């Protein structure tokens, strides 16, 4: 899943014929100044200014300002650009045209195991959460498309009538076409509003695309955004850049405030290791995984980042019995990074816990054990120790 | 017995290198079971018509590669299963080909990063045809003692450690590839091992679900319990729970679900496989799944660590009820082993191999080459130079400083002789024809022989013959005239007594200034006195001088041409790079440089 920010999300909707308010994404005051001279709509309409970053609760943070004239918009842009919120610096701001409207509707399309669900309700905006049971849903089977008749019925069932019902059916058709052609996994328009001409306009969009389909979408030139309400950190971005280059994969998510650092192998085992830490009352400092026999240097980069996490007490180098990931090779990368970190004065008082099996496990585990002679506080276990027991031991060691 | 992958499974592998690697792993598995390889063909258009060599025990088996799945199944009608190792951007089409082939019943896809839409369409198509599409992102399927699809189970030692050479009583279904192996291991240590283990794939929408496989296991008399390793997200675990709870099932169900950590993570933060994603309304959480499975009567340990003991308890129950019998362990001698490679056997001191080659000069087996036992880097650090390396490799000895200086001068004097001589000319000609460096230098090298640069060895040979036999100059010249012909090393095309070769003068001057014994050089100079008196250009040439000096400092006669070849290589490389740098074009002789002495144009007689 890959989240797309509002600007590019709106761009995809427009590409498939859905009306959106006029909008621009600006990165500097000068740029906004120039664009405001070039675009009439910025001078004539009330405007909305929003931080264009992967941030949750933008309203609460004061990063959404509505009902502005151009002058007020300019000062809002000035105020937001460059603003620092924890790890995120606001680099982009989206300025869009405010659309006068009375009713707010809701429409979404979502991928399911059986196909695609198209959902719509007249209870849009903030009302949708409380009126979820009123949402009308059309399940479209895999490989099929909703018919005009189905969409017309859906629209009527949701309580739309007359001309608006017809327009909503058309809107849903376009939304489905956009969803299907753009390899989307979830598109939610909330609210959909009716402008003074009676046309339906998408005011805000949540767009999740299938990152795996990027190879067949040459126009996906925008970056994907983090899904967890904050921008990626520099370390996360660096690991993602490595991940994009190598066979296999390396992943990192930092969790501020934790003290148990995770360096497990495999997408399945890594979650069990995280579960085990949480189950024993530990606080995760990160999530990580390396899998699919990645090159040693990629694992080394990941390990470096993990060794640099602040205030960590333990590092869990866990893993199941690998099918084809070479334990000796991947451990080689980890060991290099451990040595480097120690040379830089890191890892003081940090206990390292290792459990692993798989190709060349004997050599890999022996190399890890040898780190003890170099002064590492390291505890190495083989396949005969159950998977997550090292977490129990770490948590008991304190 | 087993499901999905059985002793009757015959496989076509779609894909390149990764597929070949999978075939090797599958061959190891079959060798362990004393069964022939069950990979019949590969489909990989770039290599269609060729074969892939797969090691099966002590033999190499050639497996043909085809352009299409249809070609493969036409040539090998026993094929009933396809393994897909095609890249994510082409996997859809390739898998469709396999599904649409009437002979293929099961398609398992290892490819990761397949677009969700493609995976969904493939799954639906397979269901419509009544076939099984396992994956994407599946590590494979393994049935103990029967068949392995893909690399599931890992290396050979692990297969044996997990007793995969004979069936147990436990079925396994996992989303995670790495955990499949872990569970197989646990089943073999805490119970009697597995029947079949299936990697269903970690994507959001795998082509199959737990229920289809649970049905199959329920109908497999060998399988008595099934371990499901789930993940948060989706509703596969809930459906499995529903199936299990719907009526009395023969098989016992054990399950664990991951993702409890989700509850204590910052909002919206998700881990793990693509499939491990939360539903919109909190549905698909680890807790919800776990509860549903428990409610349906499945055994759901609280942690992954408790899974082993739970499996053990289940097995003991099966034993107690007489449903299964204890399987005795194999005697150590009967445990399957892979044949060792010669290198491994040699390392373990188990074989004696008669060597093919004997080398007395160097050894490359360490971290750096040894020349006569001396590490190259240490020679450098001790101040040794190229002439010393020549001494070590050509005459098995460290030459003295004085000798090294002589060798250095010989190389400097012989490095090049301009573009007109045979060797350089051939190199230039080749360079201008666009020929590469090594071939162009080789063209020049070919010129080195009796008339150009190749007389050093011959000259050394005969001067040594004279000295060894204590011949006088006169005896020598008579002997040579009678038995050999012109004296090698004597005579020059353009130089003469009046126009002496400066290189000879330089070399002789240096060697004589050292005050060392030079019987061969002295003899050669004495020969020159006689021959040059007869004819002005019968002087001691540079080949002859080099030869006499090198024999004097002890180099074996057979190595002598090497000094010229080595030195002149420097010049030839220079000529090649010179022409290349200038972007020289193809050259040819002008016709006015040829004396056309062949018959003039005339009528062709009728063919008889």
A13 found inside a domain: no
Residue B135 maps to which CATH number? 3.40.50.261
Residues A249 and A140 in one domain: no
Task: Assess whether the previous peptide bond of A191 is cis (omega < 30° from 0).
Answer: yes
- Our CA-based measurement puts residue B368 at a distance from the nearest CA of chain A, in whole angstroms, of 22
Residue the block writes with tokens 């190399």: A367
Which helix (H) or strand (E) element contains residue B210?
helix B210-218
Over the stretch A27-44, which tens digit does the pLDDT of each residue have? 999 999 999 999 999 999
Over the stretch B159-173, which tens digit does the pLDDT of each residue have? 999 999 999 999 999
Q: Which residues of B touch A265 (CB under 8 A)?
A: 178
pLDDT (0 to 100) of residue B281: 45
Determine which one of B10, B76, B224, B273 is catalytic.
B273
Q: Which residues of A touch B266 (CB under 8 A)?
A: 228-229, 255
Residues A261 and A336 in one domain: yes
Residues 6+ away with beta carbon under 8 Å from B328: none
C-alpha B400: how far from chain center = 43
Interface contact flag, B276 A271, Cβ < 8 Å:
yes
Give the full edge-to-edge strand order of the sheet including B374-375: B362-363, B370-371, B374-375
Residues A378 and A240 in one domain: yes
Tokens of B71: 């070609």
Q: Measured between alpha carbons, how far is B386 from B566 in angstroms, rounded to an integer?
A: 11
A17 found inside a domain: no
pLDDT band at B134 (very low <50, low <70, confident <90, very high): very high
Residues A329 and A259 in one domain: yes
Single residue among A53, A68, A97 that ends a domain in this structure: A97
Interface contact flag, A115 B120, Cβ < 8 Å:
yes
B18 found inside a domain: yes
Half-sphere exposure of residue A27, counting CA atoms within 13 Å on the CB side?
1
Q: Measured between alpha carbons, how far is B270 from B284 in angstroms, rounded to an integer?
A: 13
Q: Measured between alpha carbons, how far is A395 from A249 in angstroms, rounded to an integer?
A: 28
At residue B280, does pLDDT exceed 50?
no
Which helix (H) or strand (E) element contains residue A41?
helix A40-44
A351 found inside a domain: yes
- Our CA-based measurement puts residue B58 at a distance from the nearest CA of chain A, in whole angstroms, of 21
pLDDT (0 to 100) of residue A129: 85
Over the stretch B48-57, which tens digit does the pLDDT of each residue have? 999 999 999 9
What is the torsion angle, in degrees rounded to the nearest 10, for the CA atoms of residue B463, residue B468, residue B471 and residue B472?
A: 60
Interface contact flag, A265 B261, Cβ < 8 Å:
no
Residues B428 and B533 in one domain: yes
At residue B468, does pLDDT exceed 90?
yes
Average pLDDT over residues B329-337: 91
Report whether B561 contacts B471 (CB < 8 A).
no
Residues B504 and B484 in one domain: yes
Average pLDDT over residues A7-15: 96
Q: b/e for A209-226, b at 16 or more Cβ within 10 A?
A: bbbbbbeeeeebebebbb
Residues B115 and B35 in one domain: yes
Closest partner residue to B116 (CB to CB) among A210, A276, A325 is A210
At residue B279, does pLDDT exceed 50?
no
Determine phi and psi for A254, rounding to 5 degrees: -90, 140
Residues 6+ away with beta carbon under 8 Å from B320: none
Residues B385 and B289 in one domain: no
Over the stretch B61-117, which tens digit does the pLDDT of each residue have? 999 999 999 999 999 999 999 999 999 999 999 999 999 999 999 999 999 999 999
B448 found inside a domain: yes
Residues A137 and A194 in one domain: yes
pLDDT (0 to 100) of residue A339: 97
**Helices marked H in B2-150:** 17-32, 69-75, 91-100, 116-129
Report whether A163 contacts A200 (CB < 8 A).
no
Residue A46 maps to which CATH number? 3.30.1490.20
Q: Measured between alpha carbons, how far is B462 from B476 in angstroms, rounded to an integer?
A: 9
Average pLDDT over residues B271-293: 71
pLDDT (0 to 100) of residue B533: 92
pLDDT band at B312 (very low <50, low <70, confident <90, very high): very high
Tokens of B372: 């006569």
Q: Measured between alpha carbons, how far is B448 from B564 in angstroms, rounded to an integer?
A: 9
Q: Which residues of B touch A227 (CB under 8 A)?
A: 268, 270
Over the stretch B21-33, which tens digit does the pLDDT of each residue have? 999 999 999 999 9
Closest partner residue to B268 (CB to CB) among A227, A265, A266 is A227
Residues A196 and A247 in one domain: no
A248 found inside a domain: yes
B347 found inside a domain: no
In a 3-state reduction of DSSP, which class is residue B70? helix
pLDDT (0 to 100) of residue A186: 94
Count other Cβ atoms within 10 Å, centred on residue A150: 16
Average pLDDT over residues A200-214: 93
Q: Measured between alpha carbons, how far is B188 from B44 in angstroms, rounded to an integer?
A: 37
Q: Measured between alpha carbons, how far is B188 from B304 in angstroms, rounded to an integer?
A: 16
**β-pair type (B370-371, B225-231):** unpaired
- Our CA-based measurement puts residue A339 at a distance from the nearest CA of chain B, in whole angstroms, of 23
pLDDT (0 to 100) of residue A274: 93
Residues A242 and A343 in one domain: yes
Interface contact flag, A275 B235, Cβ < 8 Å:
no
pLDDT (0 to 100) of residue B452: 87
Q: Measured between alpha carbons, how far is A160 from B462 in angstroms, rounded to an integer?
A: 113
SS3 string, B512-557, reads HHCCCCCHHHHHHHHHHHHHHHHCCCCCECHHHHHHHHHHHCCCCH
- Our CA-based measurement puts residue B151 at a distance from the nearest CA of chain A, in whole angstroms, of 6
Q: Measured between alpha carbons, how far is B270 from A253 in angstroms, rounded to an integer?
A: 9
Residues A120 and A87 in one domain: no
**Domain limits at A188?**
104-216
- Our CA-based measurement puts residue A42 at a distance from the nearest CA of chain B, in whole angstroms, of 35
pLDDT (0 to 100) of residue A398: 63
Over the stretch B428-453, which tens digit does the pLDDT of each residue have? 999 999 999 999 999 999 999 888 88
- Our CA-based measurement puts residue A148 at a distance from the nearest CA of chain B, in whole angstroms, of 22
Distance set, CA B269 to CA A229, A275, A288, B272, B285 (Å): 8, 14, 13, 11, 13
pLDDT (0 to 100) of residue B274: 61
A55 → chain B, closest CA residue: B268
Interface contact flag, A323 B177, Cβ < 8 Å:
yes
Q: Measured between alpha carbons, how far is A87 from A230 in angstroms, rounded to an integer?
A: 8
Over the stretch B362-372, which tens digit does the pLDDT of each residue have? 999 989 999 99
Q: Which residue in A271, A280, A384 has the most chain B C-beta atoms within 10 A of its own C-beta, making it the best mutation to test that interface?
A: A271
Q: Measured between alpha carbons, how far is B545 from B523 in angstroms, rounded to an integer?
A: 11
Please name every residue paired with B308 in a beta bridge, in sequence order, or none if there are none: none
Tokens of B182: 């872990």
Which helix (H) or strand (E) element contains residue B311?
helix B307-320
Nearest of A200, A88, A143, A370 to residue B128 by alpha carbon = A143
Average pLDDT over residues B540-554: 95
Maximum Cα–Cα distance for chain A, whole Å?
A: 80
Over the stretch B550-576, which tens digit does the pLDDT of each residue have? 999 999 999 999 999 999 999 999 999
Residues B503 and B566 in one domain: yes
Residue A238 maps to which CATH number? 3.40.50.261
Query: CA angle B205-B208-B214, nearest 5°?
Result: 130
Half-sphere exposure of residue B235, counting CA atoms within 13 Å on the CB side?
11
Residues B23 and B109 in one domain: yes
Over the stretch B456-466, which tens digit does the pLDDT of each residue have? 999 999 999 99
Interface contact flag, A278 B88, Cβ < 8 Å:
no
Q: Which residues of B touch A190 (CB under 8 A)?
A: none
Q: Measured between alpha carbons, how far is A322 from A328 in angstroms, rounded to an integer?
A: 11
Interface contact flag, B117 A275, Cβ < 8 Å:
no
Report whether A100 contacts A195 (CB < 8 A).
yes
Residues A244 and A290 in one domain: yes
Interface contact flag, B181 A111, Cβ < 8 Å:
no
Q: Which residue in B109, B271, B279, B310 has the most chain A C-beta atoms within 10 A of its own C-beta, making it the best mutation to test that interface?
A: B271
Structurally, chain A folds into a number of domains equal to: 3
Half-sphere exposure of residue B138, counting CA atoms within 13 Å on the CB side?
29
Q: Measured between alpha carbons, how far is A54 from A67 in angstroms, rounded to an integer?
A: 23
B6 found inside a domain: no
B355 found inside a domain: no
Task: Assess whether the previous peptide bond of B136 is cis (omega < 30° from 0).
Answer: yes
- Our CA-based measurement puts residue A287 at a distance from the nearest CA of chain B, in whole angstroms, of 7
C-alpha B314: how far from chain center = 46
Please name every residue paired with B371 in a beta bridge, in sequence order, or none if there are none: B362, B374
Residues A314 and A204 in one domain: no
Q: Which residues of B touch A274 (CB under 8 A)?
A: 261, 271
Report whether A323 contacts A356 (CB < 8 A).
no
B605 found inside a domain: no
Q: Measured between alpha carbons, how far is B136 from B109 in angstroms, rounded to an integer?
A: 5
At residue B282, does pLDDT exceed 80?
no
- Our CA-based measurement puts residue B150 at a distance from the nearest CA of chain A, in whole angstroms, of 10
Distance set, CA A396 to CA A193, A280, B173 (Å): 57, 9, 32
Tokens of B471: 């011949």
A145 found inside a domain: yes
Q: b/e for A20-54, b at 16 or more Cβ within 10 A?
A: bbebbbbeeeeebeeebeeeeebeebebbbbbbbb
Q: Measured between alpha carbons, how far is B61 from B402 in angstroms, rounded to an integer?
A: 60
pLDDT band at A327 (very low <50, low <70, confident <90, very high): very high
B26 found inside a domain: yes
Closest partner residue to B304 (CB to CB) among A255, A360, A387 is A387
What percent of chain B is predicted at pLDDT more than 70? 97
A224 found inside a domain: no
Q: Which residues of B touch A358 (CB under 8 A)?
A: 154-155, 158, 181
Interface contact flag, A267 B276, Cβ < 8 Å:
yes
Which helix (H) or strand (E) element contains residue A335?
helix A327-343
Interface contact flag, B280 A279, Cβ < 8 Å:
no
Residues 6+ away with beta carbon under 8 Å from B478: none
Residues A264 and A194 in one domain: no
Interface contact flag, A357 B158, Cβ < 8 Å:
yes
pLDDT (0 to 100) of residue A298: 97
Residues B90 and B48 in one domain: yes
Does residue B492 have an active-site annotation? no
Interface contact flag, B181 A287, Cβ < 8 Å:
no
Residues B482 and B380 in one domain: no
pLDDT (0 to 100) of residue A232: 82
At residue B393, does pLDDT exceed 90?
yes
Residues A118 and A208 in one domain: yes
Closest partner residue to B182 (CB to CB) among A216, A284, A387 is A387
Residues B226 and B288 in one domain: yes
**Domain limits at B467?**
422-582
pLDDT band at B549 (very low <50, low <70, confident <90, very high): very high
pLDDT band at B267 (very low <50, low <70, confident <90, very high): low
A322 found inside a domain: yes
Q: Which residues of A touch B176 (CB under 8 A)?
A: 266-269, 320
Single residue among A46, A72, A97 that ends a domain in this structure: A97
Report whether A334 contacts A299 (CB < 8 A).
yes
Nearest of A256, A378, A374, A353 to residue A311 by alpha carbon = A256
Q: Which residues of B touch A216 (CB under 8 A)?
A: 89, 115
Q: Measured between alpha carbons, how far is B466 from B474 in angstroms, rounded to an integer?
A: 11
Chain A / chain B CB contacts < 8 angstroms: 185
pLDDT (0 to 100) of residue B232: 83
Interface contact flag, B178 A291, Cβ < 8 Å:
yes
pLDDT band at B218 (very low <50, low <70, confident <90, very high): very high
Q: Which residues of B touch A115 (CB under 8 A)?
A: 120
B21 → chain A, closest CA residue: A324
At residue A228, does pLDDT exceed 90?
no
At residue A56, does pLDDT exceed 80?
no
SS3 string, B365-433, reads CCCCCEECCEEHHHHHHCCCCHHHHHHHHHHCCCCCHHHHHHHHHHHHHHCCCCCCCHHHHHHHHHHHC
pLDDT (0 to 100) of residue B177: 87
Please name every residue paired with B231 in a beta bridge, in sequence order, or none if there are none: B258
A14 found inside a domain: no
**β-pair type (A184-194, A200-202):** antiparallel
Q: Measured between alpha carbons, how far is A73 from B254 in angstroms, rounded to an integer?
A: 60
Residue A113 maps to which CATH number? 3.30.470.20
Residue the block writes with tokens 């069950």: B38
Residues B236 and B368 in one domain: no
Average pLDDT over residues B312-324: 96
Poorest-pLDDT segment among A175-184, B137-146, B260-269: B260-269
At residue A86, does pLDDT exceed 90?
no
Average pLDDT over residues A373-390: 95
pLDDT (0 to 100) of residue A66: 92
What percent of chain B is predicted at pLDDT more than 90? 86
Structurally, chain B folds into a number of domains equal to: 3
pTM of the model: 0.81
Report whether B353 contacts B342 (CB < 8 A).
yes
Residues B215 and B316 in one domain: yes
In a 3-state reduction of DSSP, which class is residue B13? strand
In a 3-state reduction of DSSP, which class is residue B227? strand
Residues B241 and B366 in one domain: no
Q: Which of A319-323, A365-369, B204-208 has the highest mean pLDDT?
A: A365-369
A247 → chain B, closest CA residue: B112
Mean pLDDT for chain A overall: 93
Report whether A276 contacts A391 (CB < 8 A).
yes
Tokens of B307: 């899974």
A283 → chain B, closest CA residue: B264
pLDDT band at B310 (very low <50, low <70, confident <90, very high): very high
Mean pLDDT for chain B overall: 94
Interface contact flag, B113 A212, Cβ < 8 Å:
yes
B340 found inside a domain: no
Single residue among A97, A115, A133 that ends a domain in this structure: A97
């Amino acid at each position: 899943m890959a989240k797309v920010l509002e600007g590019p999300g709106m761009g995809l909707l427009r590409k498939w014929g859905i009306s959106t308010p006029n909008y621009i994404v600006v990165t500097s005051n000068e740029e906004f100044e120039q664009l405001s001279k070039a675009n009439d709509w910025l001078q004539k309409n009330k405007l909305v200014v929003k931080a264009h970053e992967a941030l949750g609760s933008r309203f609460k943070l004061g990063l959404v300002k509505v009902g502005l004239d151009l002058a007020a918009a300019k000062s809002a842009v000035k105020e937001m650009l460059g603003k620092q919120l924890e790890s995120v610096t606001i680099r982009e701001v989206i300025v869009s045209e405010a659309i006068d409207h009375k009713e707010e509707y809701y429409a979404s399309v979502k991928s399911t195991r059986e196909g695609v669900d198209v959902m719509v309700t007249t209870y849009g905006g903030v009302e949708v959460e409380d009126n979820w049971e009123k949402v009308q849903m059309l399940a479209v089977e895999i490989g099929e498309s909703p018919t005009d008749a189905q969409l017309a019925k859906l629209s009527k069932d949701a309580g739309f009538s007359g001309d608006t019902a017809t327009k909503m059916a058309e809107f849903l058709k376009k939304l489905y076409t956009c969803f299907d052609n753009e390899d989307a996994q979830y598109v939610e328009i909330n609210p959909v509003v009716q402008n003074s001409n009676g046309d339906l306009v998408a005011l805000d969009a949540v767009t999740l695309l299938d990152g795996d389909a990027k190879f067949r979408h040459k126009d996906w030139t925008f970056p994907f955004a983090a899904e967890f309400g904050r921008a990626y950190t520099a370390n996360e971005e660096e690991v993602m850049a490595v991940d994009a280059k190598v066979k296999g994969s390396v992943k990192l998510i930092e969790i501020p405030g934790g003290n148990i650092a995770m360096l497990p192998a495999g997408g399945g085992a890594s979650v069990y290791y995280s579960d085990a830490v949480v189950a024993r009352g530990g606080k995760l400092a990160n999530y990580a995984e390396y899998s699919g026999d990645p090159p040693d240097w990629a694992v080394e980069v990941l390990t470096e980042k993990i060794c640099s996490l602040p205030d960590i007490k333990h590092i869990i180098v866990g893993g199941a019995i690998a099918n084809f990931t070479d334990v000796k090779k991947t451990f080689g990368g980890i060991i290099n990074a451990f040595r480097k970190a120690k040379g830089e004065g890191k890892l003081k008082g940090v206990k390292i816990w290792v459990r692993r099996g798989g190709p060349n496990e004997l050599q890999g585990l022996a190399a890890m054990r040898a780190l003890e002679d170099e002064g590492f506080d390291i505890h190495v276990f083989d396949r005969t120790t159950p998977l997550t027991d090292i977490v129990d031991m770490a948590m008991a060691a304190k | 017995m087993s499901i999905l992958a059985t002793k009757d499974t015959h496989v076509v592998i779609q894909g390149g290198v990764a597929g070949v690697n999978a075939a090797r792993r599958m061959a190891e598995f079959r060798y362990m079971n004393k069964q022939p390889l069950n990979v019949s063909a590969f489909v990989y258009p770039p290599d269609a018509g060729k074969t892939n060599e797969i090691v099966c025990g002590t033999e190499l088996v050639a497996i043909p590669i085809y352009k299409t799945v249809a070609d493969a199944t036409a040539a090998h009608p026993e094929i009933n299963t396809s393994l897909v190792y095609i890249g994510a951007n082409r996997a859809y089409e390739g898998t469709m080909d396999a599904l649409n082939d009437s002979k293929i019943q099961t398609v398992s896809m290892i490819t990761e990063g397949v677009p969700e839409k493609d995976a969904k369409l493939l799954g639906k198509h397979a269901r419509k045809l009544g076939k099984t599409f396992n994956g994407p992102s599946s590590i494979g399927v393994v049935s103990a003692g029967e068949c392995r699809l893909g690399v599931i189970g890992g290396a050979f030692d692990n297969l044996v450690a997990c007793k995969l050479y004979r069936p147990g009583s436990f079925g396994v279904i996992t989303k995670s590839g790495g955990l499949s192996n872990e569970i197989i291991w646990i089943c073999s240590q805490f119970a009697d091992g597995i029947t079949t283990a299936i990697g269903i794939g970690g994507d959001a929408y795998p082509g199959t679900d737990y229920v289809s496989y649970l049905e199959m296991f329920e109908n497999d008399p060998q399988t008595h319990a099934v371990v499901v390793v789930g993940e948060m997200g989706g509703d596969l675990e809930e459906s499995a729970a529903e199936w299990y709870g719907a009526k009395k099932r023969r098989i016992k169900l054990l399950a664990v679900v991951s993702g409890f950590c989700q509850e204590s993570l910052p909002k919206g933060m998700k881990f793990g496989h693509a499939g491990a994603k939360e539903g919109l309304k909190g549905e698909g959480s680890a807790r919800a799944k776990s509860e549903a499975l428990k409610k349906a009567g499945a055994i759901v340990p609280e942690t992954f660590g408790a899974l082993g003991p739970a499996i053990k308890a289940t097995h003991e129950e099966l034993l107690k009820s007489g449903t299964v019998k204890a399987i005795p362990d194999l005697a150590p001698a009967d445990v399957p082993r892979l044949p060792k490679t010669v290198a491994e056997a040699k390392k373990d001191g188990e074989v004696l191999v008669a060597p093919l080659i004997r080398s007395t000069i160097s050894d490359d087996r360490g971290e750096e080459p040894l020349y006569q036992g001396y590490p190259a880097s240490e020679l450098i650090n001790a101040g040794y130079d190229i002439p010393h390396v020549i001494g070590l490799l050509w005459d098995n000895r460290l030459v003295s400083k004085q000798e090294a200086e002589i060798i250095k001068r010989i190389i400097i004097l012989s490095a090049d002789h301009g573009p007109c001589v045979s060797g350089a000319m051939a190199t230039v000609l080749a360079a201008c024809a666009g020929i590469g460096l090594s071939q162009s230098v080789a063209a020049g090298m070919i010129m080195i022989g009796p008339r150009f640069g190749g007389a050093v060895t011959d000259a050394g040979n005969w001067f040594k013959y004279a000295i060894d036999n204590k011949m006088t100059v006169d005896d020598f010249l008579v002997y040579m005239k009678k038995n050999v012909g012109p004296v090698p090393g004597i005579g020059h095309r353009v130089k003469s007594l009046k126009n002496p070769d400066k290189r000879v003068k330089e070399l002789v001057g240096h060697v004589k200034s050292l005050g060392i014994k030079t019987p061969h050089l002295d003899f050669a100079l004495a020969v020159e006195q006689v021959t040059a008196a007869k004819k002005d250009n019968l002087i001691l040439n540079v080949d002859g001088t080099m030869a006499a000096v090198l024999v004097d400092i002890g180099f074996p006669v057979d190595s002598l041409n090497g000094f010229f070849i080595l030195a002149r290589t420097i010049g030839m490389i220079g000529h090649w790079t010179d022409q290349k740098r200038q972007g020289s074009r193809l050259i040819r002789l002008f016709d006015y440089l040829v004396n056309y002495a062949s018959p003039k144009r005339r009528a062709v007689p009728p063919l008889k």
